[in-house]
Amino acid sequence: MAEEEGYEQGAQPGQFAQYVPIPELDQAPVNILCPYCGANVVTTIRREMGTFSWIMVVLLAFFGGYCCLCLIPFFVDSCKDAVHICPNCGKQIGRYKKM
């Protein structure tokens, strides 16, 4: 990425906002300073179907020959996107997309 992603923590009028950089996200939980609540946490992961998952469903349905094979990406976490959530405040911090 040319620009580093990050969030500004909320500042009151007349104060400067603190820039909180978001580290590179992966499939595994990461230690991060939450940009919403300011707590230093290890993110929790929620898996969601993304572009890669749906492409795999279509390819397996087309080339697999069996209807049941196309359902494999629904049950394999490594085919899904990883959504990083703050366990303290419950807000979404970021998302790792397979594609």
pLDDT at position 39, please? Answer: 92
For the cut 80, the answer to whether the pLDDT of residue 82 exceeds it is: yes
Tell me how many helices (H) and strands (E) the chain has: 1, 7
5-33 pLDDT tens trace:
554 555 555 555 555 567 788 889 999 99
Q: Report which residue type is found at 12.
A: Q
44-57 pLDDT tens trace:
999 999 999 999 99
Query: Quick one: how far is CA 56 from the chain centroid?
Result: 19
Which alpha helices (DSSP H) does the chain contain, by range?
51-64
Whether pTM > 0.85 for this model: the answer is: no
The full set of domain ranges for the chain reads 6-96
Of the candidates 45, 48, 35, the one whose C-alpha atom is nearest the C-alpha of residue 89 is 35
Q: Report which residue type is found at 96.
A: Y
Query: Quick one: how far is CA 78 from the chain centroid?
Result: 13
Q: How much of the chain, in percent, has pLDDT values that exceed 70?
A: 75
Residues 6+ apart with CB under 8 A from 99: 50, 51, 52, 55
pLDDT at position 61, please? Answer: 86
E strand intervals along the chain: 6-8, 19-21, 31-33, 40-42, 44-48, 81-85, 92-96
